[in-house]
């Protein structure tokens, strides 16, 4: 398929122009997050400042919004909840496919149905329920809800994955006298590592970036996740300067950006293979 | 070593029963968690939408009163209009741009690099995107600089809704690009080659071969964009909180505000329910239209 020279040029020109437009916000973010807080002027946002202020800015954000405990908690939520959720989902998929659970299809529908619930339908009862059971504004409560929303996708993906594993493996292991749990833990789980990793990463990103559950179910700096802290930092009443807010936003976005860039290829390949 | 299926395993019936127990044991933790924290609240919200509840005294049953209030509530009217505007804007533009970028950058050298600017924003959170764009759109900020204007993007309707749609587009184009990249990869090469041998190029090739072959994927992309846009909360909350004066509210924000700011749990529940029904109806209508169109094409 031969392409005209004009076509070749136009293609790349359009892509470049669009790409540059897309990068303008990133450029301005970097320039002004790095700018020292005192050097910020509304009219002069395009030129980088000669002084490096990112660390100071972030430290100020850290202090005024209690970011330290918030970040620690968010790391806990985005690692523990997906890990548990993925495990529970894999167990369910294993039960349905390998253990041939009776009415397995309905169990699957039950679990997969969990993906369709809009968060708006969950917030009020969760808030009321958490308040009355002393789960409100508690790390355990946050982990609980984040795990619950990780399970449906994990169950879906792992169930699909396990259908591709030869049943003979299970049979042979049973004949060898292995217990069901051991077969799951030692054989099926390691086999499913790519699928587990993919779901883990997706859940990690979702939970790290969450705002609404954090806003509704937590309050104090030590429990609320980072995006909730960022949201309150950027509100008009916070009294922080623009560079400080931008620095906070920049640093707190780094984990998901890093994870996303690192796993992008994996996802494209996985999607293409129809695994997920 | 093969396993002769005719050999009866000792204690077959008890083995099967044990199998069921094991199966239940494996599936129940996940099912319990999902049932308790997802299904139960859903049902509760439906019930609550027929009550009047301030969170302190007991809920009072009011039947369809909350739903009747929809028609009298001017703020809700604005919210619905904004949501509609929002939905149209965020399904057409990010999906369309995503498709464009995918097509332009498909299988060219350095394609990954060309796509990188679009991928980066997708990794950001809604809150993060909101923070960045709030900075860009402030009075006398970057947006005004580039446009040579003096608009108050975050305050005047409908500019504030449009501005937020732009911010959302900036973030969401990348995922649609990824989506269409996968779709393009799965298009078989033969029809494309055959058509180009017949002399078809560029636009003709796209319109008659690529576009129809991409149709199922496009349907999914638009469907997903629809659902995501109706649920949008983060970006609106961070950028304008639905204000000023609630003029940029969307339904998801209205639901939050009515419940947790104003303390009307019953009314908030009814807004949530309505949002869910609208999402379901729109998605169903859209899917039905897509599948019936394809039936026409044979």
Least confident among A257-271, B76-90, B167-181: A257-271
Q: What is the pLDDT of residue A37?
A: 83
Q: Which residue of B has its CA nearest to A184?
A: B26
- Give B10's pLDDT tier (boundaries 50, 70, 90): low
Q: Which residue of B has its CA nearest to A206?
A: B125
Q: What is the pLDDT of residue B13?
A: 55
Q: Which residue has the tokens 């293409």?
A: A272
CA angle B225, B229, B235 (to 5 degrees): 125
From CA B131, how far away is CA B171, in angstroms rounded?
Answer: 12
From CA A147, how far away is CA A139, in angstroms rounded?
Answer: 12
**CA contacts within 13 A on the Cβ side of A167:** 8
Distance from CA of B293 to the nearest CA of A (A): 25
Q: What is the pLDDT of residue A276?
A: 41
Give residues with Cβ within 8 angstroms of B93, minimum separation 6: B165, B169
Cβ contact, residue pair A184, B192, below 8 Å? no
- Chain B residues within an 8 Å CB radius of A110: 31, 34-35
- Chain A residues within an 8 Å CB radius of B238: 211, 230-231, 234
ipTM attached to this prediction: 0.85
Q: What is the pLDDT of residue A78?
A: 95
B262 touches chain A (CB under 8 A): no
Distance from CA of A226 to the nearest CA of B (A): 10
Tokens of A86: 């993925």
Q: What is the pLDDT of residue A271?
A: 54
Is residue A124 within 8 Å of residue B45, measured between CB atoms?
A: yes
Least confident among A116-130, A189-203, A256-270, B266-280: A256-270
Give Cα B122 distance to the centre of its chain.
Answer: 13
From CA A6, how far away is CA A8, in angstroms rounded?
Answer: 5
Cβ contact, residue pair B234, A127, below 8 Å? no
Candidates A140, A215, A130, A92; CA nearest to B40 is A130
From CA B219, how far away is CA B18, in angstroms rounded?
Answer: 45
Q: Which residue has the tokens 């850290």?
A: A62
- Chain B residues within an 8 Å CB radius of A261: 119-120, 123
From CA B5, how far away is CA B135, in angstroms rounded?
Answer: 70
Q: Which residue of A has its CA nearest to B278?
A: A118
B152 touches chain A (CB under 8 A): no
Cβ contact, residue pair B256, A12, below 8 Å? no
- Chain B residues within an 8 Å CB radius of A7: 202
Q: What is the pLDDT of residue A204?
A: 94
Cβ contact, residue pair A28, B259, below 8 Å? no
Q: Three-state secondary structure along A36-82?
A: CHHHCCCCCCCCCCCCCCHHHHHHHHHHHHCHHHHHHHHHHHHHHHH
Query: In whole numbers, what is the pLDDT of chain A averaged over residues?
Result: 87
Q: Three-state secondary structure along B206-262?
A: HHHHHHHHHHHHHHHHHHHHHHHHHCCCHHHHHHCCCCCCCCCCCHHHHHHHHHHHC
Is residue A158 within 8 Å of residue A94, measured between CB atoms?
A: yes
Is residue B232 within 8 Å of residue B221, measured between CB atoms?
A: no
B284 touches chain A (CB under 8 A): no
Span between the terminal Cα atoms of chain B, in Å:
50
pLDDT of B8 higher than 80: no
From CA A11, how far away is CA B167, in angstroms rounded?
Answer: 25
Cβ contact, residue pair B142, A24, below 8 Å? yes
Q: Which residue of B has its CA nearest to A30?
A: B132
For the entire predicted model, the pTM comes to: 0.86
Query: In whole numbers, what is the pLDDT of chain B averaged over residues?
Result: 83
- Give B157's pLDDT tier (boundaries 50, 70, 90): confident
pLDDT of A18 higher than 80: yes
Q: What is the pLDDT of residue A2?
A: 53
- Give A44's pLDDT tier (boundaries 50, 70, 90): confident
Q: What is the pLDDT of residue B82?
A: 87
Report percent pLDDT > 90 for chain B: 21
Is residue B160 within 8 Å of residue B245, measured between CB atoms?
A: no
pLDDT of A267 higher than 80: no
Give residues with Cβ within 8 angstroms of B207, minimum separation 6: none
Which residues in chain B (181-220) have CB-CB distances under 8 A to chain A?
181-182, 185-186, 192-193, 196, 202
pLDDT of A219 higher than 50: yes
- The pLDDT tens digits for B160-219 are 888 999 999 999 998 899 888 888 887 877 777 777 777 666 677 777 778 888 888 888
- Give A213's pLDDT tier (boundaries 50, 70, 90): very high
- The pLDDT tens digits for A136-160 are 999 999 999 999 999 999 999 999 8
Distance from CA of A251 to the nearest CA of B (A): 10
């Amino acid at each position: 398929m031969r392409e005209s020279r004009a076509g070749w040029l136009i293609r790349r020109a359009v892509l470049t122009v669009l790409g540059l437009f897309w990068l303008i916000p990133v450029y301005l973010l970097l320039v002004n997050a790095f700018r020292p807080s005192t050097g910020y002027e509304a009219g002069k946002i395009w030129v980088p400042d000669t002084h490096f202020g990112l660390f100071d800015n972030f430290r100020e954000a850290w202090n005024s919004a209690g970011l330290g405990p918030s970040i620690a908690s968010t790391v806990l939520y985005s690692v523990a909840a997906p890990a548990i959720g993925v495990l529970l989902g894999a167990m369910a998929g294993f039960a349905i496919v390998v253990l041939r659970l009776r009415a397995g299809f309905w169990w699957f529908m039950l679990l997969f149905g969990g993906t369709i619930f809009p968060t708006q339908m969950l917030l009020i009862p969760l808030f009321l329920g958490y308040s009355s059971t002393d789960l409100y504004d508690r790390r355990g409560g946050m982990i609980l809800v984040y795990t619950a929303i990780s399970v449906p996708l994990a169950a879906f993906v792992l169930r699909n994955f396990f259908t591709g594993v030869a049943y003979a493996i299970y049979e042979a292991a049973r004949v060898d006298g292995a217990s069901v749990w051991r077969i799951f833990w030692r054989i099926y789980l390691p086999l499913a590592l790519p699928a587990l990793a993919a779901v883990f990463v997706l859940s990690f990103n979702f939970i790290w970036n969450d705002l609404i559950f954090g806003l509704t179910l937590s309050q104090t700096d030590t429990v609320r996740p980072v995006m909730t802290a960022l949201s309150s930092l950027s509100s008009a009443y916070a009294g922080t300067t623009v560079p400080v807010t931008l620095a906070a936003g920049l640093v707190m976005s780094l984990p998901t950006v890093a994870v996303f860039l690192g796993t992008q290829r994996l996802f494209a390949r996985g999607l293409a293979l129809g695994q997920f | 070593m093969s396993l002769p299926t005719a050999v009866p395993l000792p204690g077959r019936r008890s083995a099967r029963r044990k199998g069921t127990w094991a199966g239940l044991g494996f599936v129940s933790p996940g099912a319990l968690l999902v049932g308790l924290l997802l299904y139960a609240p859903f049902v509760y919200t439906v019930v609550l939408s027929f009550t009047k509840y301030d969170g302190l005294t007991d809920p009072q049953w009011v039947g369809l009163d909350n739903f009747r209030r929809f028609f009298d509530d001017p703020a809700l009217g604005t919210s619905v209009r904004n949501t509609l505007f929002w939905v149209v804007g965020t399904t057409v533009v990010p999906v369309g741009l995503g498709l464009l970028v995918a097509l332009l950058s498909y299988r060219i050298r350095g394609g990954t690099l060309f796509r990188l600017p679009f991928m980066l924003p997708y990794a950001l959170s809604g809150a993060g995107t909101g923070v960045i764009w709030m900075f860009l759109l402030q009075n006398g900020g970057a947006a005004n600089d580039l446009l040579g204007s003096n608009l108050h993007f975050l305050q005047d309707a409908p500019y504030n809704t449009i501005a937020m749609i732009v911010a959302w587009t900036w973030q969401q184009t990348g995922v649609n690009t990824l989506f269409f990249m996968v779709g393009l990869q799965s298009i078989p090469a033969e029809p494309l080659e055959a058509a180009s041998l017949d002399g078809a190029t560029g636009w003709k090739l796209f319109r008659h071969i690529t576009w129809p072959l991409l149709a199922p994927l496009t349907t999914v992309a638009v469907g997903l964009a629809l659902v995501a846009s109706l649920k949008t909360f983060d970006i609106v909350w961070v950028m304008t909180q639905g204000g000023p004066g609630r003029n940029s509210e969307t339904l998801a924000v209205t639901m939050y505000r009515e419940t947790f700011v104003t303390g009307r749990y019953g009314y908030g529940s009814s807004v949530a329910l309505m949002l869910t029904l609208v999402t379901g109806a729109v998605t169903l209508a859209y899917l039905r239209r897509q599948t019936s169109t394809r039936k026409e094409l044979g």
